[in-house]
Structure 1
Amino acid sequence: MYYQPNAYFTGDKIQIFKLNKKYGKLTENIALYLISSMKKAFTNFSWGQSSFALDVISNIDIELPVTKSGTIDFEYMEKYIQVIKKQLIEDVVEYKNEYISKSKSTVFK
């Protein structure tokens, strides 16, 4: 599963999931959160042709965060993915800095 922001044509063995318009616009971060939740919910599938049929997956429960009023908490999903992306960037920068530092110490010995 992956996020495709643009219009997309596919064959008959691929399912396309869309956010119901009543929930607003599907952002990349919300899509990434939903995909992660769906992957977790679908872990028992063998991913054969019959296991991904709409009649089968339409009965799968997917756990999502909810607000105190019981509505899906899209704001939480958006912020959660933002935090993960920020942490990932920080980790990459730290790795790069350590790599450069080790490279300099090796070169200047």
Structure 2
Amino acid sequence: MFYQEKPYFTADKIKIVVPKFTGFDNTIAQFFITSMSKSFSTFTWGSSSYNVKIINAQKIKILINSNGQPDYDRMRLFIRAMQKLIIKNVVQWQDKQIEATKRIVSEKNK
């Protein structure tokens, strides 16, 4: 699954999910894609699982507010926090790679 901001042509085996609310953006899409991927994880390629009826009946978990409505602000906050953690992990990994490279270069120059 992926988020496509602008309309596009697709093949006949591709299902397009269109939000029924305004304010849908890439950040909210990432939350929904993650939730939907988890819900659809038992589906297999080419199976009847991807039948539109079955997809429409599938339950996904989302964050809700105290009024029982979807909490889009918390979804955005959650996704942004996850993005920051991922960036931090990539930076830490890259720092380790740089340090390892420096050690190798230093040992070769001895």
TM-score (norm 1): 0.90
State the 1:49 CA deviation: 4.6
Unaligned runs of at least 5 residues, structure 1? none
State the 1:77 CA deviation: 1.0
Q: Which amino acid aligns with 1:5?
A: E
Rounded to whole Å, the distance in 2 between the matches of 1:43 and 1:49 is 13
1:1-109 matches, within 5 Å, as 1-20=1-20, 23-109=21-107
Query: What's the secondary structure of 1:45's corresponding residue?
Result: coil
Provide runs of 4+ in structure 1 moved above 3 Å: none
State the 1:46 CA deviation: 1.9
Rounded to whole Å, the distance in 2 between the matches of 1:76 and 1:14 is 30
Rounded to whole Å, the distance in 2 between the matches of 1:44 and 1:51 is 9
Q: Which amino acid aligns with 2:18?
A: K
> Equivalent pairs: percent with the same residue?
33
Confirm or deny: 8 A CA contact 1:13 1:49 kept in the other structure: no
Aligned length: 107
Confirm or deny: 8 A CA contact 1:19 1:25 kept in the other structure: no
Rounded to whole Å, the distance in 1 between the matches of 2:34 and 2:77 is 15
Structure with a larger share of its residues in helix? 2
Structure with higher Rg: it is: 2
C-alpha RMSD over aligned residues: 1.2
Q: Which amino acid aligns with 1:79?
A: L
Q: Which amino acid aligns with 1:18?
A: V
Unaligned runs of at least 5 residues, structure 2? none
Rounded to whole Å, the distance in 2 between the matches of 1:106 and 1:25 is 51
Confirm or deny: 8 A CA contact 1:65 1:77 kept in the other structure: yes
